Amino acid sequence: MLRFLVQRLALAIPTLVIASMIIFVLQQLLPGDTATALSGEERDPEVIAFIRQKYHLDQPLPVRYALWAGGVLQGDLGESIRLQKPVIDLVVEKLPVTLELACLAMLVALVIGVPMGILSAVKRRQAADTIANGIALWGLSVPNFWLGILMILLFSVHLGWLPASGYVSPFVSLSENLRAMVMPAFVLGNAIAAVMMRHTRAAMLGVLGSDYVRTARAKGVSPLRLILRHALPNAAIPIITLGALEFGQLLSGAVLTEQVFSVPGFGKLMVDAVFNRDYATVQGVVICTATTYVLLNLGADLLAAFVNPKLRRA
């Protein structure tokens, strides 16, 4: 198990270095330059020259990368040119918000998707299966932005039950925090629930048709025990892998939901940074997302190995 862990960690480091290099180079391909974008309506040439020099924009690309990488090794992700704040502070401020939103969305997805997938597999080709599939199709096809606006109109404008936007830290008020997060978590979790349901259904169908399940059934194991004890652990492996991937995507892909509900998370930070050519912020956000993604995948592999011991030797 330890060797497995060390191997996986060793693979993670070059992955992160390559990811950071790719994003560093890709950003340079964006038309327009930071100094011009940030020089204000007046475009004072002296201001432009000052910004170039202060943020090393006048240096060649490899030098800039080396300066940035050197900083990262010392825990310094640089400074946001637009907000004049250390990127690490922005990350520390935004990451918990996005993580909470992603966790709640994942909870919504699991609570809706997995039971529906199991039900759909067990009641294959029956009414429940058709209904579950219909709901999944709806969840996949409804755009987040539209669903978000509709929910705000219903729950905030007409009923006045939930706040339309904003974020309150759970340490300030847990109830206010949850009130603000219910709608965004549902909107975000909704689409993933559909994917979860489809994958759970497929995995369960595969397992339910296998010999050992038939044997267990012949031995008189109760249907509930058969599903929960015998079938689900085997079907869980693809679901865990999918969950980790989807969770990673949630960290960087919650942009629209964050915009609709004005949740001050990573997505909003990233979009603003890209439009303002705030390279240090983009780079910082990407490296943090990539790290989280790599760790999540590692976590999923470990969890899968824990659930299925055969994988530890693979």
Partner 1 sequence: MLRLFAACLVAGAVSLAPVQAQTLRFGLMEDPDALDPSLARTFTSRMVFAALCDKLVDIGPDLKPVPQLATSWSLSPDEKALTMILRPGVLFHDGEKLDAAAAKYSIERHLKLPGSQRRGEIAPIDRVEVVDDLTFRIVLKTPFAPLLAQFTDRAGMMVSPKAAERLGDKFSTAPVCAGPFKFVERVPQDRIVVERFDEYWNKDQIHIKRIEFRPIPDGTVRLTNLRAGQLDLLERLTPTDLPQVTRDPKLKVGSTYELGFQSIVFNANRAGSAVADPRVRAAFDLAIDRTALNQVVFGGEFLPGNQWVSPKHPAYVKEYPLPKRDIAKAKALLAEAGIPKPSVTLTVYANNEAPQVGQVIQAMTREAGFDVKLQATDFTTALDAADKGNFDAYLYSWSGRPDPDGNTFSFLACKTPLNYARYCDPEADAALAAERATVDPAQRAVAWKHLADKVMADRPLIYLFHRKLFWAYSTKLSGFTPYPDGLVRFGGLTLN
Closer Cβ to partner 1, 25 or 107, answer by number: 107
By the criterion CB under 8 A, which residues form the site for partner 1?
30-33, 36-47, 50-51, 54, 82-85, 90, 93-94, 107-108, 111, 149, 152-153, 156-157, 160-167, 175-176, 178-179, 182, 259-260, 262, 264, 268-269, 272, 275-277
Shortest distance in whole angstroms from residue 158 CB to partner 1 = 9
DSSP, collapsed to helix, strand or coil, labels residue 168 as: coil
Shortest distance in whole angstroms from residue 87 CB to partner 1 = 11
Shortest distance in whole angstroms from residue 46 CB to partner 1 = 7
Number of Cβ within 10 Å of residue 227's Cβ equals 20
Shortest distance in whole angstroms from residue 257 CB to partner 1 = 11
Closer Cβ to partner 1, 275 or 306, answer by number: 275
Amino acid (one-letter) located at 263:
V
Residue 112 half-sphere exposure toward CB, CA atoms < 13 A: 22
Closer Cβ to partner 1, 143 or 233, answer by number: 143
- Residue 268 to residue 262: CA distance in whole angstroms: 8
Burial tier of 168 (Cβ tally within 10 Å: 0-12, 13-18, 19+):
middle
Shortest distance in whole angstroms from residue 271 CB to partner 1 = 9
Q: For 80, list phi and psi in degrees, rounded to 5.
A: -70, 125
Shortest distance in whole angstroms from residue 179 CB to partner 1 = 5
Closer Cβ to partner 1, 44 or 58, answer by number: 44
First to last CA, the chain: 11
Shortest distance in whole angstroms from residue 154 CB to partner 1 = 10
Measuring CA to CA, which residue among 231, 141, 157 is closest to residue 194? 141
Number of Cβ within 10 Å of residue 148's Cβ equals 23
Residues paired with residue 80 on neighbouring β-strands, in sequence order? 85
Closer Cβ to partner 1, 48 or 304, answer by number: 48
- Residue 299 to residue 296: CA distance in whole angstroms: 5
Cα angle 228-234-240, degrees, rounded to a multiple of 5: 95
